[in-house]
Amino acid sequence: MIDSTALNGRVARAKVLTIDTMNPTVKNAKYAVRGPIVARAAELERELNEGMKKPFDEVIKANIGDAHAMGQQPITFFRQALAICSYPELLNDSTFPEDAKSRAYRILQSCGGNSMGSYSASQGIDSVRQDVARYIERRDGGVPSDPDNIFLTTGACDGIMTMLKLLVCGEGPTRTGIMIPIPHYPMYSATLVELAAVQVNYYLNEEKCWSVDISELKRALDEARHYCNPRALCIVNPGNPTSQVETRQCIEDVIRFAAKERLFLMADEVYQDNVYGHGCRFHSFKTVLFEMGPEYSNTMELVSFHSTSKGYMGECGFRGGYMEVINMDDEVKAELTKLLSVRLCSPVPGQALVDLVFNPPQPGEPSYDNFIKERTAILSALEEKAKLTEQVLNTVPGISCNPVQGAMFCFPRITIPEKHLSGNCTVTLCCNDSFPLWICVIPGSGFGQKEGTYHFRMTILPPIDKLQILLNKVKEFHQKFTQKYS
Amino acid sequence: MIDSTALNGRVARAKVLTIDTMNPTVKNAKYAVRGPIVARAAELERELNEGMKKPFDEVIKANIGDAHAMGQQPITFFRQALAICSYPELLNDSTFPEDAKSRAYRILQSCGGNSMGSYSASQGIDSVRQDVARYIERRDGGVPSDPDNIFLTTGACDGIMTMLKLLVCGEGPTRTGIMIPIPHYPMYSATLVELAAVQVNYYLNEEKCWSVDISELKRALDEARHYCNPRALCIVNPGNPTSQVETRQCIEDVIRFAAKERLFLMADEVYQDNVYGHGCRFHSFKTVLFEMGPEYSNTMELVSFHSTSKGYMGECGFRGGYMEVINMDDEVKAELTKLLSVRLCSPVPGQALVDLVFNPPQPGEPSYDNFIKERTAILSALEEKAKLTEQVLNTVPGISCNPVQGAMFCFPRITIPEKHLSGNCTVTLCCNDSFPLWICVIPGSGFGQKEGTYHFRMTILPPIDKLQILLNKVKEFHQKFTQKYS
C-alpha cells in the first residue's frame, strides 16, 4: 500500500492540529442554528444564483432571527445617527434631523478623541451605560438602575458566555451545573460544553404553552445534585425557540425557587419588545424581584441580558447588547471587568446603537413621528405573522403549534408516521429538495425536545406573502409525507 | 459580636458567586494594559474634569495603542464609505465621492437584505474575504491566497483567542504548551491562563534589538517538554511591546525550527504597516514560507492575524480583523467555523471596514490623492515620533531604549537605584502624582521581563508636541528619582 502522505519523495509532516488532537470540548459542542442544513441552504442559494437548474427557484431561510435579511428595513433615525457617528462631517448636513445630530454628538463626545475608532472603556462608554440605566428605570416603573451595574457586550450572547464563564468551577461531582430550559437556544449548550460545565436540563411544559414549571425545576435540580453542583438557573423570557411569555406569577415563583435553592439567576430577556399573545405582557425579572421586597431585592443575584439584534430594530449585524447585574459581589464585578478588558471593548458602533435604541426620539423631537410609525409597522406585522403562523400550522393534520406569544419563532410539534420512524429517520422536512421552494428550518433536535417528540423551529420573519407561501408549502409537504409513510 | 449579614431580622443569603467560588482560571488571569494604573488614570481624569485641584492639569494616556484617542484623525474615505453603509440614502448624496459609493454599494450587496443589520456568515462576508485574499496576494508578490482560508474576526485578539482555544488539549504532562515571547502583549498570557494551557516563555534578545533567537527557542522548548506538550509557537512581528522588526533570515530560521519541532505557527502581524526602522522591512511569514518551497509551503501549519486597529488607520473601536490559515486540516477548519458560529458573526461594520482597508482607493479614483496624503502624513508622523522617542530616552542616565523599528510602542529599560530596590519596590514611574503631568504608562512586569531588569511600555502615539513634553517629564522624573535614592 502506498503511503498517501508521501510527497515529492519525502514523507510529509503529519499535521500538528487534527480532529483527533484538537480541543475536545470545542469538538463536542453542537450548534444546529448554523449547522449542515444552513450550509446546504447557502450552497443551494449560490447554485441558483449561478443559474443552476433546480426544481425550485428560491430558498427561504427561516432558520434564524435575522430580520433585515428577511427584508425588514432599518429604523431611519438609528441609521442617520450612526452615519453621523461614522462621518461627523454630516453634523453640518442640513438634510439630517437635529435629534439624530444631537444624539450622535453626545455619543462622539463620550468617545476618546471624539471618534468611534477609539477603544472604549472595557465595561462600555459611560454615557451609553447611563442612558441604558435610565431606560431600565423607565421600563421598570422607577426601580433604580445603576450605570455601574451595566456592562455593554458584543450582542447578548457575549454577555451570556461571559457570565457562564465566571460561574464555572470545581471538578467531578462538585463541577458547576447550569440549569437550562429544554427546548433551548443551542448557544447555551454549546457554551456549556466548551466550558466543560454540566448542563442541567429542565423541560418546558408544552401542554401549558411551554411555560416554566416549578415542580420540574425541582425535579431537575434534585437529580442534578447527585452528580454536580448546580449554581445557576437560566430563564429565557420570551422564549426561544418556544415563544412563550412567562406570567408575573411564574417569574415570582422562579425567584422564590432560586432564592431557596441558592441559584444565581440569569434572565435572557432579549425578546422583551416582542410580545404579541392575547393578554400577555413582558415582566422583567428585575421589577418582580424588587416588588417582592428587600428580602429578595437586597440579596438575590440576578443578571439580565438584552440586545439590539431583536425587538423591532433587528440590528443583528452591529452586535450591540448589554447586561445588568444585580447584587453581584464587588470583587466578582472587578473580575468581570478584567475578563472583558482582555478583549479590550465591545464594538463601538454597536455601543452607539445601544445608546440610540435605549434613548430613542421623544415626543416633540423631529424624528419622533416617523420613528413611531416605523416601529409600529414592524411590531404590527410581527403580531400578524405570529397569528398567521399559529393558525395555518394548526390546520395541518399531524402538526400542532402553541400560540406564538412572543419572540420571533414557532416551535411546532410534528407527528412522524410510524413507518418512517422505523427507518433510519431524522426529521427531513427541512432538507427535502423536491419542492418548488426550499425551506430552511431547524430540526427540533438542535434545541432539545422530549424523547419521542419531534419539532422544528422556524422564524415568523419572512414578509407576510412569503410567509404565507412558506406555511402552505410546509402544510403540503407534511400531508404528502404523512400519506407516503402511512 | 453582631452578625453583619443580619438584615431585617433575618440572616441574609450568602452570595452564590464570590471571589472564592468563581472560575479560578479567570481570577488568575492578569491584564496590566487595562489594570490598576489605567483605572487610576481614568479616575484622575474624571476628577480633573469635575474641577478638582491637582498638582497637574492633564493626564496623558500612553498605555495603549489607541491612535484616535490620541487625536489621530480617521481616514476620510473609510468613514465616508462606512456612513453610506450605515445609511444607504447617502448613495444619492452628490457630495460623497463615487469610489466611496461604489465600495459601500458592493459591501451592501453582499449583506443579507442589503443591510449591515443582518448577520453575516460566521466566517465573514464572502466579498470581504475575497478582497482580503486579493490584498494578501498583492502584499506577498503573488503568493496565492484562498478566500476560504480567510476568517473575519472581532479584532485580531478574537482570532488569536479562538486559535489558542482550538489548540488546547490534554492533562498534566500532556497538557498543551504554547510558546510566547517575553516580553509579550498580555492578552496572550491572560488567554492561556483562562484556557488552563501551559505558557512556555522564550526570551527576546534585548541586546540584539529584541530579536527572536533560535537557540533560546530551543532552550525553552526542551525545558518545556519535561512538563507539557508544546504544540504552537507565537511570534509577534513587528513586536509588541518591543517594536522589533524581524529579518527575513530570522523568519526563515523560525519556520525551519517550527517545522523540525512540529509546532503550529501563529504569526501576529497586526503591525505590518508600522515599520520605521532604518533598513527594516516587513516580511510576512506566509511569503517566506512559500519562498522556502513546497517542502514547507505544502505542509507547515500557519495562521496569520491582522487587524484594522493598528497601521495608519488605527480604527480600534470597530473591532475589525481577519486571520488567514495555511495548511489547516479540513476537519479542524470546519470545527473552527462552528466555534465562530456560536457567536454568530463578527460585527458587520468592522467587516465593512476590513473590506475598505484592504481594498482602498486606487490611482485614478476620486479619493486616491487625499487617501495617500492622509496615510502618508500619519505614517510619517509615526516615524518621526519613533525616532524622537528613542533619541530622548537614550539621553537619560539610567534609561536605555532599543530603536523603535516598528509597531507603536517603546519598551525602554530603566535602572532602579539599589536603595529603592531594597525597599518594597515596584517601578513607580507611572503612578507618581507629584508631577505637573500625570503620565500613564505600563510597568514592564505586565509584559514579562528578565528577572532583575525593569522596563515600561509607552506608546509613541501622542501628538508630537505632547510626546515631547511627555518624554521630557519622564526624563526629569527619572533623574530626580535616581538622585533621591542614590
ipTM of this complex: 0.90
Chain B closest-CA separation from residue A169 CA (Å): 5
- For residue A185, the chain B residue with the least C-alpha distance is B342
Please tell me the distance from the alpha carbon of residue B285 to that of residue B266, in angstroms, as a whole number.
9
Q: What is the pLDDT of residues A446-474, one digit of tens each?
A: 888 888 888 888 999 999 998 998 888 88
Give chain B's end-to-end CA distance (angstroms, integer). Answer: 50
Is the CB of residue A251 less than 8 Å from the CB of residue A283?
yes
Instruction: Supply the pLDDT for residue A16.
Output: 86
Phi, psi at A46, each rounded to 5°: -65, -45
Strand partners, A202: A181
Please tell me the distance from the alpha carbon of residue B227 to that of residue A399, in angstroms, as a whole number.
58
Q: In the structure, what pLDDT confidence band is assigned to residue A423 with cuts at 50, 70 and 90?
A: very low
Q: What residues in A contact B313, CB-CB < 8 Å? A: 117
Chain A closest-CA separation from residue B402 CA (Å): 27
Segment 343-402 of chain A within 8 Å of chain B by CB:
343-350
pLDDT at B270 exceeding the cut of 90:
yes
A431 touches chain B (CB under 8 A): no
Judge if the upstream peptide bond of residue B238 is cis by omega within 30 degrees of 0.
Answer: yes
CB contact under 8 A, B154 and A343: yes
CB contact under 8 A, A12 and B299: yes
Q: In the structure, what pLDDT confidence band is assigned to residue A12 with cuts at 50, 70 and 90?
A: low
Is the CB of residue A159 less than 8 Å from the CB of residue A153?
yes
Q: In the structure, what pLDDT confidence band is assigned to residue A432 with cuts at 50, 70 and 90?
A: very low
User: Which residue has cell 502624513?
Assistant: B377
Count of A-B CB contacts under 8 Å:
300
Instruction: Supply the pLDDT for residue B448.
Output: 87
Q: What residues in B contact A79, CB-CB < 8 Å? A: 86-87
Cβ within 8 Å of residue B135, ≥6 positions away: B358, B359
CB contact under 8 A, B118 and A15: no
Instruction: Supply the pLDDT for residue A43.
Output: 82
pLDDT at B422 exceeding the cut of 50:
no
Q: Which grid cell is A340?
A: 472583558
Chain A closest-CA separation from residue B348 CA (Å): 5
Chain B closest-CA separation from residue A148 CA (Å): 14
H helical segments located in A11-97: 24-28, 36-49, 76-86
Mean pLDDT of chain A: 89
Length of chain B: 486
Chain A closest-CA separation from residue B419 CA (Å): 34
Instruction: Give the nearest partner residue to B34 out of A42, A74, A122, using CB atoms.
Output: A122
Helix or strand holding residue A302 (H, E): strand A302-307
Name the DSSP class of A223.
H
Cβ within 8 Å of residue A87, ≥6 positions away: B79, B80, B82, B83
Structural domains of chain A sorted by starting position, each given as residue range(s) with its CATH number in brackets: 26-72+372-485 (3.90.1150.10), 77-357 (3.40.640.10)
Mean pLDDT of B465-480: 86
Please tell me the distance from the alpha carbon of residue A92 to that of residue B267, in angstroms, as a whole number.
44
SS3 letters across chain B: CCCCCEECCEECCCCCCCCCCCCHHHHHCCCHHHCHHHHHHHHHHHHHHCCCCCCCCEEEECCCCCCHHHCCCCCHHHHHHHHHHHCHHHHHCCCCCHHHHHHHHHHHHCCHHHCCCCCCCCCCCHHHHHHHHHHHHHHCCCCCCCHHHEEEEEHHHHHHHHHHHHHCCCCHHHCEEEEEEECCCCHHHHHHHHCCCEEEEEECEHHHCCECCHHHHHHHHHHHCCCCEEEEEEEECCCCCCCCCCCHHHHHHHHHHHHHCCCEEEEECCCCCCECCCCCCCCCHHHHHHHCCHHHHCCCCEEEEEECCCCCCCCHHHCEEEEEEECCCHHHHHHHHHHHHHCCCCCHHHHHHHHHHHCCCCCCCCCHHHHHHHHHHHHHHHHHHHHHHHHHHCCCCCEECCCCCECCEECCEECCCHHHHHCCCCCCHHHCCCCCEEEECEEHHHCCCCCCCEEEEEECCCCHHHHHHHHHHHHHHHHHHHHHHC
Angle (CA) A60 A64 A69, round 5°:
60
Segment 99-138 of chain B within 8 Å of chain A by CB:
111-113, 115-122
pLDDT at A428 exceeding the cut of 50:
no
Q: What residues in A contact B310, CB-CB < 8 Å? A: none
pLDDT at B2 exceeding the cut of 70:
no
Helix or strand holding residue A151 (H, E): strand A150-154
A29 touches chain B (CB under 8 A): yes
**Other C-beta atoms within 10 Å of A278: how many?**
7
Instruction: Give the nearest partner residue to A301 out of B17, B168, B339, using CB atoms.
Output: B17
pLDDT at A4 exceeding the cut of 50:
no
Instruction: Supply the pLDDT for residue B420.
Output: 61
Mean pLDDT of B53-70: 84
Instruction: Give the nearest partner residue to A169 out of B22, B71, B187, using CB atoms.
Output: B22
Percent of chain A topping pLDDT 70: 92
Q: Which of A273, A259, A358 is nearest to A302 (CA)?
A: A259
Mean pLDDT of B90-107: 97
CB contact under 8 A, A7 and B83: no
Which of residues A480 and B257 earns the better pLDDT score?
B257
CA atoms within 13 Å, Cβ hemisphere of B101:
11
- For residue B38, the chain A residue with the least C-alpha distance is A121
B79 touches chain A (CB under 8 A): yes
CB contact under 8 A, B346 and A80: no
Please tell me the distance from the alpha carbon of residue B313 to that of residue B66, in angstroms, as a whole number.
11
CB contact under 8 A, B26 and A155: no
Q: In the structure, what pLDDT confidence band is assigned to residue A289 with cuts at 50, 70 and 90?
A: very high
CB contact under 8 A, A72 and B111: no
Range of A267-271, A431-435, B397-401 with top mean pLDDT: A267-271
Instruction: Give the nearest partner residue to A117 out of B24, B68, B113, using CB atoms.
Output: B68
A54 touches chain B (CB under 8 A): no
Q: What residues in B contact A22, CB-CB < 8 Å? A: 166-167, 169, 332, 335
Instruction: Supply the pLDDT for residue A65.
Output: 87
Which of residues B353 and A59 earns the better pLDDT score?
B353
- For residue A189, the chain B residue with the least C-alpha distance is B342
Q: What residues in A contact B71, CB-CB < 8 Å? A: 113
pLDDT at B436 exceeding the cut of 70:
no
pLDDT at A425 exceeding the cut of 50:
no
Q: In the structure, what pLDDT confidence band is assigned to residue B429 with cuts at 50, 70 and 90?
A: very low
Mean pLDDT of B397-402: 91
CB contact under 8 A, A319 and B74: no
Q: In the structure, what pLDDT confidence band is assigned to residue A484 with cuts at 50, 70 and 90?
A: confident
Q: What residues in B contact A332, CB-CB < 8 Å? A: 17-19, 22
Instruction: Supply the pLDDT for residue A438.
Output: 62
- For residue A196, the chain B residue with the least C-alpha distance is B195
B425 touches chain A (CB under 8 A): no
Instruction: Supply the pLDDT for residue B350.
Output: 97
Q: What residues in B contact A169, CB-CB < 8 Å? A: 21-24
Q: What is the pLDDT of residues A15-66, one digit of tens each?
A: 988 888 888 888 887 877 666 777 777 788 888 888 888 777 778 878 888 9
Segment 136-175 of chain A within 8 Å of chain B by CB:
154-155, 157-158, 161, 165-169
pLDDT at A123 exceeding the cut of 60:
yes
CB contact under 8 A, B317 and A64: no
Q: What is the pLDDT of residues A250-286, one digit of tens each?
A: 999 999 999 999 999 999 999 999 999 889 999 999 9
Q: What is the pLDDT of residues A297-350, one digit of tens each?
A: 999 999 999 999 999 999 999 999 999 999 999 999 998 998 888 888 999 999
Length of chain A: 486
Please tell me the distance from the alpha carbon of residue A407 to that of residue A311, in angstroms, as a whole number.
8
